[in-house]
Every structure is written in C-alpha cells, then in structure tokens.
Amino acid sequence: MASYNQAAQKVLTAEGGYTDKAQDRGNWVCTNQAWVKGNSNNYYCTNNEAPLLVGTNKGISAPALAKHLKRIPTPSDSLSLTTQTVLDIYEVDYWKRIKGDYINSQPVANIYFDAAINHGVSRATKMLQMTLNLMGEQLQEDGRIGTRTLNAINRADPSLLHNYYKRYRWNFYDKIVEKDPGQSIYLNGWRNRLDHFPDFNLMADMESGGVLAAVAMPSFNSNTKTTISQQANAILDDVTYTLHQGVIAYTPLMSNARSFRAVKLVLIGGIALVLFFGFKVLIKGSGLL
C-alpha cells in the first residue's frame, strides 16, 4: 500500500512557498461562513461580499486554510504556516479523503494526491475516473472515491494509469489557459509541477534501481510470450490514448471507454492491413507468388 509520508514529501518538493498574486483565485476567500463550513463550491463571493486576499502557502489555499482554522484567515495566518501544520492538513483534508492508504501503487497515489491538493479532491477524483474510463472502465464520473473507483485504480496497469493521468492534467492546464488567457502566467509553473512526477518507468529506475521498471516495461528477452504481449499491448494503449485525445477534442461525446476501445480496434485493423499488404508485396517481390 502507498505511504502517506512518501507522498507528502513528494508534494512538498512540488509546492512553492507563499504567494498572494491577485490573479490566482485560490488566494482569495469570501468573508462569509461558507468557506469555514466547506460548503462553497466556487471561488466567487455572493451577495456583493468583498473578497479578502489571503494567499496560498505550500499548496494550502485561502479556502482550505479557512476550513482548517474554522474561521476567516488572514494573510498572517497563511504566512506563518509551519511545515508540520501543512502536513497535518495534507493528511486529514486530502490523503484520507482520497483513501491513499488503500492505493497499491505509490507513484499513482503520489500524483493523485498532488492533484487533490492542486485541483481539489472532487475534481482530481473525477479526472482520475475519466482517465480510468478511457482505459476501459465504466465508472460513474462523480468525483467520489468509492469502492468501485478504488478497485479500478488498483487493477489498472499502474504505469499506464500514472502516465495517462499526468497527460490528462497537462491537457487540463492547457484548457484553463484557453478559457482564460490571463491564467497563462501560471502555465509554466503548473507544467513544472508535473515534472516532479516523471513518467512511471523513468521514476521506477531512479527509485528502485530498475526493479519496478522491469515489471512495468518487461524486457523482450523474457522467455514468456505473455510478457512480450503485455508490453506490446501497453505500447498500443499508449498510441491509442494519444489518438483518442485527438478524437475527443473534436467529438466530446465520444470521451468514454467505448470510444477508446473503438479507436484501439481501428488502430489494430490498420496495423493488420499494413502488415498484410506489406507481407504480400514482400512475397511477390521474392518471386514466391
């Protein structure tokens, strides 16, 4: 099972220090009690309330700090956050809510945990459910981490899930900027954040001396046909994912597991045709036909 301490240290390296840029909505808090109770679903104040610029420190946004303190925070509250307090908030408000202790893969838990802090637990979970559905699951994309979602996480190929989820987050950042060009000042920072979560195989090489890498991307020298087949299927899934992203960019209604399988079948059919006609030309050129 994944370790909270490992995940927390990973996120701390990705998070920056204190920031109070006015363009970042996460740096603001409304002066009503909705933030304290955790009932507000957006960053916009109601009833003409004046928002308060508090700031964010080590990933703890103004609304998250309000919920933790159970009162409206001040900039001083954010500035004075200790690492231990941050770790306590991480564990209670994020790690436990995503059920990190029940996730088998540490890399998957790491990037999911980071997403929960960066995007919010509900959005991070919904993005993970959508990623799993692209991989063939049929989950309800409700942003809740229940038994079905947790089981799907643990039966998925961890390398594919980690890398696909990372790409999904990358695309999500791009869409934020497309919708609001003013957010482009944060794009490089968001991308740098994702760089702290290298693709699964590279990470495995660094963290386990190649042991996990050998499992995730088995060698073609293996004596078992199953291992080679799994690697080929992983590569095919990787190509399919890239093509599928292009498909759903133009046909949003196809962003589900069924369309992913359809793209994969088309790709397999195309490869089969190329191999068939290539082999036929080869045979004909050799004079055997």
Q: What is the pLDDT of residue 242?
A: 53
Q: What is the bridge-based pairing of β-strands 56-57 and 18-19?
A: antiparallel
Confidence tier at 101 by pLDDT (50, 70, 90): very high
In this structure, are 140 and 91 located in the same domain?
no
pLDDT in tens, 10-44: 999 888 889 998 888 888 888 765 555 544 444 45
- 196 and 226 co-located in one domain: no
Structurally, how many domains does the chain consist of? 3
Q: Are residues 105 and 200 in the same domain?
A: yes
Q: Are 157 and 134 contained in the same domain?
A: yes
Span of 46-60, 117-131, 142-156, 275-289 with lowest mean pLDDT: 275-289
Residue 19 belongs to what H/E stretch? Answer: strand 18-19
The amino acid at 252: P
Q: Given 96, 120, 147, which residue is the final one in a domain?
A: 96
CATH number for the domain that contains residue 159: 1.20.141.10
Count of residues in the chain: 289
| Beta-bridge partner residues of 29 | 52
Question: Checking DSSP bridges between strand 18-19 and strand 28-29, what pairing results, if any?
Answer: unpaired
Query: 247 and 163 share a domain?
Result: no
120 and 196 belong to one structural domain: yes
**96, pLDDT greater than 70:** yes
Residue 8 lies in a domain: no
Same domain? For 194 and 108 the reply is yes
Return the higher-pLDDT residue of 271 and 141: 141
Token pair, residue 165, equals: 């989820």
Is residue 82 domain-shared with residue 121, that is, in the same domain?
no
> In terms of residue numbers, what domain contains 61?
16-96
The Cα–Cα gap between 40 and 44 comes to 9
**Residue 251 maps to a domain:** yes
Q: Which of 69, 96, 123 is the last residue of a domain?
A: 96
Structural contact between residues 88 and 109, judged by C-beta atoms closer than 8 angstroms: no
43 and 131 in a common domain = no
Task: Identify whether residues 92 and 110 lie together within a single domain.
Answer: no
